[in-house]
Structure 1
C-alpha cells in the first residue's frame, strides 16, 4: 500500500476507534486500534491484486493529466476549445435562467 494511502486509512481507522470508544463510553482504544491495524493489513493483503490495478489506473490517469493552459500550449486546442465553449454556454444559460438580461449574460 502506498504510504499516502496507508496514512489516510490509519487516520480513518483512528477516527473510527475514537468514535467507538466515545459511543460505548468505555473500552481500550489502544487495543481496538491494534486490532484494526491487523485487520487493515489482512484486508490489504487480500486485495493486493485489485489495489495494484487501482494504483496502475491512478498512475495512468496522472500521466495523462494536463491543465487547460497546458493543452493550449501544446496545440491540443480542439478539445480545450470545446470544453471552454460548453462551459461558456452553460454560464450564459444559467444567467438567463436566473433572469439576467441577455446582453449582460453574453
Structure 2
C-alpha cells in the first residue's frame, strides 16, 4: 500500500456543464483504475487535461464512490450549497468545507 495526497474542491470549469467536484491527486495507476470503474452515466467522471484534475457530477452516487475510495467528502447537501456559492455571485457559504485535503491508501 502507498499513500497518495489528494485535494477535493468544487469549481466551474467554464465548459457549460456547471459546477462539479474536482479531485487533484498524484498519479497512481490503481487509483486511476478505481476512478475509471465508476459508472460514467451516474458520475460523468472525466479527466481535465488543462487543470490536471478528475471532474465528477455532484450527486449521491459520486459522494458514495469518492468516500469508498477514501476521500473525506462532506455531506451531499453541504456539497450542493458549496456548488451554489461558486455559481452565484450573491451566495456565500459560511464555514466553506472546501478544499478537502488528505491522503488515500491505495495499492502500489
Short-chain TM bin: under 0.3
Greater radius of gyration (CA)? 1
TM-score, length basis structure 1: 0.26
Structure whose residues are more often helix by fraction: 1
- Greater relative contact order (Cα < 8 A, sep 6+): 2
TM-score, length basis structure 2: 0.25
